[in-house]
């Protein structure tokens, strides 16, 4: 660990508790409330912030507008928007800005009212002309979830993966969600039925949404938001909580190509860079916070991150090994994930937040003596154009 970089650390986090704001608050208000709490968590103030990272979900000209809304004048503004992995990209960019001496305290925020606005995130269609490849997708009526179902079916065809194996993802995240009071409240507020730990049989017996993906393999649609504060080493040493260091990062993109492999993501490229920079291997990771838009997303990404070989993910996740209280880990999405805790549209910031809680010893499904975590976001559509952001985090 002594050889790893200690240039920047996450020093403050906050997750907005409500997943159903009932139209009472807008995304900007959620972002501001979360930012204030995350800064307080770090023992810092608005005046300490000199870098703003925003994924443009709150309003147009987001970097300029959010700076004014927060009442700060940052020297660094970054509005990278690459879908759900934007916040992993932001963490990587903040690390570089701090390392280069451009900033000392970076603020990442997210706010969404997807549930209140009745946004059909997974089952809805997509407008034509939004991407070069839409001449091969939207005209045929492909929904977002149909894209993921296509990946799942291909994975099954090539590697013999089963629905029961995919269901291990959903049961593990629900197991963790039932230990998280905010996740349980979310499921109640969003009117989930029969809220409890689930079984493999529950998952494969739930309603088919897009063959072969069942209802309990699909993320919820919620409101929500959060904030993350990243600081330089000299600032971090005086913060209220122990620093969680950003040890390595990787970024990559992928899009549909003739002869392309549907079962591999851009994580194949981003993960080795992040692990290499951190000087650790997947086998050393205690916590895996992986974007779980659908069960197949996690299975594919576990392989691409190097936890097991391509095609071996189905067998590798069997037996509940992804639960926080099982050996052989890593523990997966210990907050309950997008499947059972929150998914307001872009979930990447929550991956960082829960990874930090675990490394601080503050999780509701706490892994004993957790030292290393990976947060991996997948933005866009797994089988189509998407981004991959991998962040390795560690504590002293």
- In Å, what is the CA distance from 314 to each residue of 171, 241, 251, 301, 325? 14, 38, 26, 12, 20
- In Å, what is the CA distance from 172 to each residue of 21, 197, 295, 336? 27, 9, 11, 8
Rounded to whole angstroms, the Cα distance separating 19 from 183 reads 9
pLDDT band at 124 (very low <50, low <70, confident <90, very high): low
Q: Which regions of 255-330 does DSSP assign to beta strands (E)?
A: 287-290
User: Which tokens hold the place of 89?
Assistant: 């990209």
In sign, the C-alpha dihedral spanning 80, 84, 87, 88 is: negative
393 - beta bridge partners?
246, 373
Task: Supply the pTM of this predicted model.
Answer: 0.96
pLDDT per residue over 336-380, tens digit each?
Answer: 999 999 999 999 999 999 999 999 999 999 999 999 999 999 999
Cβ atoms of 350 and 225 within 8 Å: the answer is no
Would you state the pLDDT for residue 126? 52
Cβ atoms of 242 and 358 within 8 Å: the answer is no
pLDDT per residue over 239-292, tens digit each?
Answer: 999 999 999 999 999 988 888 899 999 999 999 999 999 999 999 999 999 999
pLDDT band at 5 (very low <50, low <70, confident <90, very high): confident
Q: 3-class SS at 151?
A: helix
User: Which tokens hold the place of 66?
Assistant: 């959010």
Say yes or no to pLDDT of 120 above 70. Answer: no
Contacts 24+ apart (CB under 8 A), 97-100: 97/51, 98/7, 98/8, 98/51, 98/230, 98/231, 98/232, 99/5, 99/7, 99/8
Q: Which of the 8 DSSP states describes residue 47?
A: G
Rounded to an integer, the average pLDDT of 306-322 is 98
pLDDT band at 1 (very low <50, low <70, confident <90, very high): very low
pLDDT per residue over 74-119, tens digit each?
Answer: 999 999 999 999 999 999 999 999 999 999 999 999 999 999 987 6
Unique residue bearing structure tokens 């330089």: 232
Q: What are the domain boundaries of the chain?
A: 8-117+221-395
Would you state the pLDDT for residue 36? 98
What does CATH list as the number for 8-117+221-395? 3.40.47.10
pLDDT per residue over 204-249, tens digit each?
Answer: 999 999 999 999 999 999 999 999 999 999 999 999 999 999 999 9
Rounded to an integer, the average pLDDT of 172-188 is 98
Would you state the pLDDT for residue 128? 45
Rounded to whole angstroms, the Cα distance separating 201 from 217 reads 12
Give Cβ neighbours of residue 322 (< 8 Å, ≥ 6 apart). Answer: 168, 169, 172, 288, 329, 330, 331, 332
Distance of CA 172 to the CA centre of its chain: 16
Say yes or no to pLDDT of 327 above 90. Answer: no
Q: Which of the 8 DSSP states describes residue 207?
A: P
User: Which tokens hold the place of 74?
Assistant: 């940052």
Cβ atoms of 299 and 314 within 8 Å: the answer is yes
Would you state the pLDDT for residue 143? 83
In sign, the C-alpha dihedral spanning 164, 170, 172, 178 is: negative
Say yes or no to pLDDT of 174 above 50. Answer: yes
Mean pLDDT value across the chain = 93
pLDDT band at 319 (very low <50, low <70, confident <90, very high): very high
Would you state the pLDDT for residue 139? 65
Rounded to whole angstroms, the Cα distance separating 180 from 293 reads 19
Rounded to whole angstroms, the Cα distance separating 108 from 230 reads 8
User: Which tokens hold the place of 29?
Assistant: 């208000």
């Amino acid at each position: 660990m002594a050889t790893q970089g200690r240039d920047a650390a996450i020093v403050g986090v906050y997750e907005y508790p409500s997943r159903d704001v009932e139209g009472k608050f807008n995304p900007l208000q959620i972002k501001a409330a979360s930012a204030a709490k995350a800064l307080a968590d770090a023992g810092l103030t608005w005046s300490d912030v000199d870098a703003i990272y925003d994924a443009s979900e709150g309003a147009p000209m987001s970097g300029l507008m959010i700076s004014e809304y927060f009442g700060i004048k940052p020297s660094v503004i970054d509005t990278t928007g690459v879908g759900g992995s934007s916040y992993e990209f932001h963490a990587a960019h903040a690390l570089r800005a701090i390392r280069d001496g451009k900033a000392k305290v970076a603020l990442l925020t997210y706010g969404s009212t997807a549930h209140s606005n009745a946004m059909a995130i997974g089952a809805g269609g997509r407008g034509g002309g939004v991407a070069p490849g839409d001449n091969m997708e939207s005209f045929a009526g492909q929904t977002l979830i149909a894209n993921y179902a296509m990946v799942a079916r291909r994975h099954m065809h090539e590697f013999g993966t089963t629905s029961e194996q995919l269901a291990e993802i959903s049961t593990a995240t629900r197991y963790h969600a039932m230990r998280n009071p905010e996740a349980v409240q979310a499921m109640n507020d969003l009117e989930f039925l029969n809220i409890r730990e689930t079984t493999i049989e529950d998952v494969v017996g739930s309603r088919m949404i897009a063959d072969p993906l069942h209802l309990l393999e699909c993320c919820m649609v919620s409101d929500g938001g959060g904030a993350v504060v990243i600081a330089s080493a000299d600032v971090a040493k005086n913060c209220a909580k122990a620093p969680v260091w950003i040890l390595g990062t990787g970024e990559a993109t992928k899009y549909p190509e003739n002869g392309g492999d549907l079962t591999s993501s851009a994580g194949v490229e981003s993960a080795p860079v992040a692990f290499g920079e951190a000087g650790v291997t997947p086998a050393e990771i205690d916590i895996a916070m992986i974007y779980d838009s659908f069960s197949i997303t996690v299975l594919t990404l576990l392989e691409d991150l190097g936890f097991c070989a391509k095609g071996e993910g189905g067998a590798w996740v069997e037996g509940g090994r992804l639960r926080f209280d099982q050996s052989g880990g890593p523990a997966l999405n210990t907050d309950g994930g997008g499947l059972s805790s929150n998914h307001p549209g872009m979930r990447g910031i929550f991956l960082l937040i829960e990874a930090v809680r675990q490394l601080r010893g503050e999780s509701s499904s706490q892994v004993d003596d957790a030292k290393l975590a990976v947060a991996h976001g997948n933005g866009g559509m797994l089988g189509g154009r998407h981004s991959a952001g991998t962040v390795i985090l560690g504590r002293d």
